[in-house]
Structures are given as structure tokens and as C-alpha cells.
């Protein structure tokens, strides 16, 4: 079982970017926790971060994974291309957001990804990623 975790634009700035919204954990901290939990659960995980929509679409289309966990960040609210890529590959996908997008600005409350995702986790901080990994194992085990 292999999980691909994609982090979208500006998530490379975690730890210093708006810590009151996103917390103090860095992207490296998050990735380490994901990789550690995946190993504990007998799964393989790969993490990827890009500020480029096309690179994210390319990563999704490679289909080198059984399950996708994605925090599309700002692309959540704008990217039909990422939505279409998720839909096209036919793999289960969990959308994750560190902050609660439904309690923020109006434009952040709309997710283009939610309609093609297996589920969405929003507002639980770094723990949301770990919950997604655990959910991914259950989904893949049927």
C-alpha cells in the first residue's frame, strides 16, 4: 500500500507563515510524522510539495500510488485541473486542510476538490494529515 501526500503552494513556508492560522510545525516536521506513521501501519508514503499547479497535476497523473492525500492549499478554490486529474486517475483521495476553511474568508469555503475526494479533513492542524493516513489504510483494506 502506497500513499502519495501532496502539499500545495506556500506550504513550504509552514512554521513561519501565519503561525496563528497554520501552527508552528514545518513541512519537514509534518512529512516526518507522515512517514513515521505510515511505516508503523505497514504502508509506504511519498511526500511532494509544489507551488506549481502543473507539477501537482503531473504528480497525480503518474499513478505510482494507491491512495492520494492532498492539501491543495490555495488551489482548493481555483483548480479545475487538479480536480480533473484526481477524477481521471480513479484513486481514492482525501483532501486535508490545516485550518478550517469553512471558518475563513468566503472564497475559501468553496472546494473544487471536495466533489471528487473520498473525504475531507479540515481544521485539525497537523493531526489532519495523520488522520488521513489512518483513514487511507482503512479505505485501502476495504
Active-site residue (options: 22, 65, 75, 129): 22
3-state SS record for 74-107? HHHHCCHHHHHHHHHHCCCEEEEECCCHHHCCHH
How far is it, in rounded angstroms, from Cα 1 to Cα 21? Answer: 32
| 75: annotated active-site residue | no
| 65: annotated active-site residue | no
Active-site residue (options: 65, 97, 112, 129): 97
Identify which of 98, 92, 136 has the alpha carbon closest to the alpha carbon of residue 117. Answer: 92
The catalytic residue positions are 22, 97
Amino acid at each position: 500500500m502506497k500513499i502519495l501526500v501532496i502539499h500545495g503552494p506556500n506550504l513550504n513556508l509552514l512554521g513561519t507563515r501565519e503561525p496563528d492560522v497554520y501552527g508552528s510545525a514545518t513541512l519537514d516536521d509534518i512529512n516526518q510524522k507522515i512517514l513515521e506513521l505510515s511505516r508503523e501501519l505497514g504502508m509506504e508514503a511519498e511526500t511532494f510539495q509544489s507551488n506549481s499547479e502543473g507539477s501537482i497535476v503531473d504528480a497525480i497523473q503518474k499513478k505510482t500510488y494507491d491512495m492520494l492525500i492532498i492539501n491543495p492549499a490555495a488551489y482548493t478554490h481555483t483548480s479545475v485541473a487538479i480536480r480533473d486529474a484526481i477524477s481521471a486517475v480513479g484513486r481514492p483521495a482525501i483532501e486535508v486542510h490545516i485550518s478550517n476553511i469553512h471558518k475563513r474568508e468566503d472564497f475559501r469555503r468553496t472546494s473544487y476538490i471536495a466533489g471528487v475526494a473520498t473525504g475531507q479533513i479540515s481544521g485539525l492542524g497537523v493531526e489532519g494529515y495523520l488522520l488521513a493516513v489512518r483513514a487511507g489504510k482503512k479505505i485501502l483494506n476495504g
